[in-house]
Amino acid sequence: MNIALTGSSGSIGSILVNDLKSAGHKIFCISSSHSFHEKNIYTYDEIISRKINFEADLIFHLASINSNLDESQIDEELNLCKSVFKVMEVTGCSNLIFFSSIKVYGENSFEINQFTEDSILEPKSSYGEAKKQCEKLITEMSSILNFNYLILRLPPLLIEHSISSLAKLFFIVKKGIPIPSFKIGDENERSFLSYKLLLSSIKIFLNDKTKINNEIFNLSDERAISTHDLFEKIGIQLNKKPKIIYLPDFIFNQMIKLNRLQLIMCRLFGNFKISSEKFKSTFL
């Protein structure tokens, strides 16, 4: 299969591109900034202007301005989507898989909620808002431009990569740095996604493109885990035992009374749980 992929230098794309090649697919990487024709890396402009000609059966759109984009960059994120539509047109591609984010639902919270695909979208960050607007644009343009789409809302991916959202945690565990923590880290619930599950899910659509059915799905590991479970999982990947030092709860209670520290504590020890039952019941 001929597959076009945006974001091939990102934390997911840089791993995925090699696995897709190993599976026998021909990969065309699309970049905003540079081209390297010997490795099938081309810019949007080269493709859209037809300086480079190829046909694509499927496009994976992983590229993003960055995960910390500000409000002024939301339009840039939408323009990336519009460029992908143009690439689809010139390559004769009618299938798009868009990698969105669970941040369309909001952010970590000290409350325990579980989000499904029918939950209200209330992004608290510009990145989440950008993904929400991209989802809306894709659903609107699919009927106008006559393409099929699948939108996957993903939690953080459990991979070691320098630009991944978990990069600092991997670094701390790898170096054996003691981790000061609190009892709440045994109890909170957060959804993550293993790369193995992501890859096996992608293979479903590579084996049968008719399953790209104009729907939106959450995709995560079946069980949500606590912050300390996360440290343990990272330790297993690195063959390292994380060193967790429990601090008294009264310190935590004092810290969350300060607005700035409350945000940090919520990011580390908050809850963010999604259900991927819809995906499981549909495809697995």
- Each residue's pLDDT tens digit, 239-274: 999 999 999 999 999 999 998 899 999 999 999 999
Q: What is the pLDDT of residue 34?
A: 83
Average of pLDDT values for 174-197? 96
Q: What is the pLDDT of residue 161?
A: 84
Q: What is the pLDDT of residue 238?
A: 95
Q: What is the pLDDT of residue 44?
A: 95
Neighbours of 29 (CB within 10 A): 20
Q: What is the pLDDT of residue 231?
A: 96
pLDDT tens string 98-154: 999 999 999 999 998 999 999 999 999 999 999 999 999 999 999 999 999 999 999
Average of pLDDT values for 42-66? 94
Q: Smallest Cα–Cα separation from 137: which of 157, 152, 151?
A: 151
Separation between Cα atoms, residue 110 and residue 95, nearest integer Å: 39
pLDDT tens string 108-119: 999 989 999 999
pLDDT tens string 207-227: 999 999 999 999 999 999 999
Biggest CA–CA distance in the chain, Å, is 64
Which position has the higher pLDDT, 215 or 37? 215
In terms of C-beta density within 10 A (0-12 exposed, 13-18 middle, 19 or more buried), how is residue 207 classed? exposed
**pTM, to two decimals:** 0.96
Neighbours of 124 (CB within 10 A): 13
182: tokens are 């609190």
Q: Which helix (H) or strand (E) holds 78?
A: helix 74-91
Q: Smallest Cα–Cα separation from 169: which of 259, 117, 231?
A: 231
For the chain, give the percent of residues with pLDDT over 70: 100
- Given a contact cutoff of 8 angstroms between Cβ atoms, the answer to whether 64 and 88 are in contact is no
Domains of the chain in sequence order: 2-157+193-222+275-283 (3.40.50.720), 167-188+224-269 (3.90.25)
- Given a contact cutoff of 8 angstroms between Cβ atoms, the answer to whether 270 and 187 are in contact is no
Average per-residue pLDDT in the chain?
Answer: 95
